[in-house]
Structure 1
Amino acid sequence: MSQADYFNLMPHDKRDPNPFLAIYLDQSIPFNEEAKAAYLKDCSSKSRQFLLPVLRPLARLLIVLFQIYKILVPKAFTSSRALHRVLYWGMKTFVSPDANYMILRHFYLGSEVLQFIRDNVPGVQVEMNPLKPTNLKPVKDDLFLVHDLNLYNFVINLNREIREKQIEVTKQNRLNFDAITSDPIPIEPMPKRWTNFLDLTTAIECFTPVYQLFLTDNDFWRATNSLQLDETIGILASKIIGNNDRLALINNKHPMVPLTTLRAGFRLVLHGLATEQMHALLVELKHKQQAS
């Protein structure tokens, strides 16, 4: 049974309607059907309902304590290698299959969205470093950190070329969709033991202070501030496709107003959803262009 069948086959009780079924059936938000089902199924888990309200304030308290620790001991032990091995172990051991699936999709889709923008700004030659993991092993190779660096380097290199070559990002009459995958992404089955119970939001909230602990204060701030670039990527894409009516759902707003690290976990979930929605919109436009 596919992920979508979980909701497609769900009975509808008019006296007790399922809120996640309503959101799944709603078509106003562009979203891959399988990913949408996986995410909403994950949202309806007992972990998110009962554990998240308890663990979220504890995780945010740890962020505050670790910030104080970094101030007092600025040269404390840090290691991206150790961090990513802890993340890999945590994802393999505790995170639910649906949550791991959504995390790996994010790297895959994010790389495709950046390449789509590069391919549709004529005259630029920005070197890309696509991340397309299909299982958890690449996490050990600094996957999360490289993802953040890719985003910053893309924005910097793209805009430098635009400035130097005096290029204007404008609507393209025929879009280049070579970067956009419309077929199912070949992500392998995720670990499914009894310990794999943490939903996506709870897992991210728990991993955020771990991320902070193992990184330098500068690296952690850079990582959290990268979430503010959602609006930047959305605006670039909207200029290229000539339509910005789907940008209202981007919640990590003005890139010139960096937020504190305290709500980084919640904002990271919004970042993932923004990427899913943007990619789904591009797939939709690709199919329309092919049909015409």
Structure 2
Amino acid sequence: MTDFLNIETHDSRDPNPWLAMYLDTSIDINKKTKEALMRDNDSKAKRYLFPIVWFSSKVSMFFIHVFKFFFPKLINSSKILHRILAWGLKNFVSADANLLIFRHFHVGSEILQFIAGNIDGIEMKTSPLKPKNFEDVKDDLFLDHDLNLYNFVINLNHQLQTHQVHIQKKEQLNLSMISEDQFDHIDFPDKWTNVLDLRSAIELFTPFYQLFLTANDFVRASNSLQLDETIAIYTSQILGTPGHIGLVNNRHPMVPVTTYSAAFRLVLHGLAAESLHEVLVKIKQGIPRDGVVLPENGTVQV
């Protein structure tokens, strides 16, 4: 464990805010994820490099926005974009930030699988994205993540309306798709060039995302973050408790937000997914959370 995350290093006259967040248990989150996130927040890159990257990103996005207005189809290649992303992640992003990014696809996929597997009267096929290496990133990983989310919402609600069923509290939860381990993460590179923190990496990659995708793809990706509220509602209906909606910050998907805030909202999106997934992990382990009481007669399928 990093020294600053050790209570023995605590100085009451100069408390480390990330030690406070690390020790706090009010928000459910995987332990290794939490350690990585706190180290990432405390990194030198986050302190000194991020403000420069943030400003440069916003300026670049403005000029790309103007460029795309006049030449909407001149540059459009998801393949090139994802090769750039894979190269950038491998060579410039820190091991902690890579861990958080790769985990997100596993966590998000399992949450959608949980919803699909716990609604009676429908049959949903999901397309899990569980990258194991940087080569997997090249297969349109980030774009497919956004497409999967919208297609899931569309297909789910089409079936609900077609079969005239509603999402209701599930008495016997199916948690077989929820992983309790670390998803067999790869050994992320930790060379001297791997310095970018999570926020800096996302801010740096966002203009590339905007440049190499169509306007529809980029705007849809930005708006998909507000589906956090939708997914949280589905899960809360299945669990029979509204408590999990409280930690969602990306809300109101019918009222889109400017794409200039996409990078920050993407980090919130990741935190919401991690928190919701950890709630499901604890339920699978038999630890009741937020009003979800597990019966003693074994009503959780693992």
Q: 1:6, CA displacement in angstroms?
A: 6.8
Of the three residues 159, 162, 174, the one matched with 1:176 is 174
Equivalent-residue separation in structure 1 for 2:8 and 2:264 (angstroms)? 29
Flag the 1:290–1:40 CA change in 2: closer, same or farther, 3 A.
farther
Q: Which runs of 5+ in 1 are unaligned?
A: none
Of the three residues 243, 263, 268, the one matched with 1:245 is 243
Paired residue for 2:77?
A: 79
Partner deviation per Cα, 1:198-249 (whole Å, 9 max, x = no partner): 0001100110011000111111111111111000000000110011223222
Partner deviation per Cα, 1:42-88 (whole Å, 9 max, x = no partner): 11101111111121121011111111100011221210000000000
Partner deviation per Cα, 1:76-114 (whole Å, 9 max, x = no partner): 121000000000011011100000011000000000000
Paired residue for 2:291?
A: none
Report the secondary structure of 1:141's partner residue.
coil
Equivalent-residue separation in structure 1 for 2:238 and 2:148 (angstroms)? 21
Paired residue for 1:234?
A: 232
Paired residue for 2:183?
A: 185
Equivalent-residue separation in structure 1 for 2:105 and 2:190 (angstroms)? 21
Q: Determine whether 1:268 maps to 2:266.
A: yes
- Using the TM superposition, name which of 10-19 and 149-158 deviates more: 10-19
Report the secondary structure of 1:160's partner residue.
helix
Partner deviation per Cα, 1:121-166 (whole Å, 9 max, x = no partner): 0121111110111222200111001111111111100000000001
Equivalent-residue separation in structure 1 for 2:103 and 2:6 (angstroms)? 22
Given residue 100 of structure 1, which amino acid in structure 2 is its aligned partner? N
Equivalent-residue separation in structure 2 for 1:167 and 1:40 (angstroms)? 43
Matches within 5 A, 1:47-66: 47-66=45-64
- 4+ residue segments displaced more than 3 Å: 3-6, 289-292
Equivalent-residue separation in structure 2 for 1:246 and 1:119 (angstroms)? 19
Percentage of matched positions with identical amino acids:
51
Equivalent-residue separation in structure 1 for 2:36 and 2:16 (angstroms)? 16
Flag the 1:203–1:260 CA change in 2: closer, same or farther, 3 A.
same
Equivalent-residue separation in structure 2 for 1:141 and 1:129 (angstroms)? 13
**Is the contact between residue 117 and residue 124 of structure 2 (CA under 8 Å) also seen in structure 1?**
no
**Is the contact between residue 171 and residue 239 of structure 1 (CA under 8 Å) also seen in structure 2?**
yes
Q: 1:16, CA displacement in angstroms?
A: 1.4
Flag the 1:270–1:10 CA change in 2: closer, same or farther, 3 A.
farther
Flag the 1:125–1:214 CA change in 2: closer, same or farther, 3 A.
same
Paired residue for 1:160?
A: 158
Q: 1:14, CA displacement in angstroms?
A: 1.6
**Is the contact between residue 60 and residue 263 of structure 1 (CA under 8 Å) also seen in structure 2?**
no
Equivalent-residue separation in structure 2 for 1:4 and 1:129 (angstroms)? 36
Matches within 5 A, 1:1-292: 7-8=5-6, 11-288=9-286, 289=294
Q: 1:4, CA displacement in angstroms?
A: 7.8
Report the secondary structure of 1:137's partner residue.
helix
Q: Which runs of 5+ in 2 are unaligned?
A: 287-293
**Is the contact between residue 120 and residue 175 of structure 1 (CA under 8 Å) also seen in structure 2?**
yes
Flag the 1:128–1:31 CA change in 2: closer, same or farther, 3 A.
same
Flag the 1:26–1:253 CA change in 2: closer, same or farther, 3 A.
same
Partner deviation per Cα, 1:157-182 (whole Å, 9 max, x = no partner): 00000000011101111211011111
Paired residue for 2:290?
A: none
**Is the contact between residue 4 and residue 34 of structure 1 (CA under 8 Å) also seen in structure 2?**
no
Equivalent-residue separation in structure 2 for 1:43 and 1:5 (angstroms)? 14
Equivalent-residue separation in structure 2 for 1:10 and 1:215 (angstroms)? 49
Given residue 138 of structure 2, which amino acid in structure 1 is its aligned partner? K
Equivalent-residue separation in structure 1 for 2:240 and 2:225 (angstroms)? 24
**Is the contact between residue 4 and residue 16 of structure 2 (CA under 8 Å) also seen in structure 1?**
no
Equivalent-residue separation in structure 2 for 1:50 and 1:93 (angstroms)? 20
Given residue 98 of structure 1, which amino acid in structure 2 is its aligned partner? D
**Is the contact between residue 151 and residue 226 of structure 1 (CA under 8 Å) also seen in structure 2?**
yes
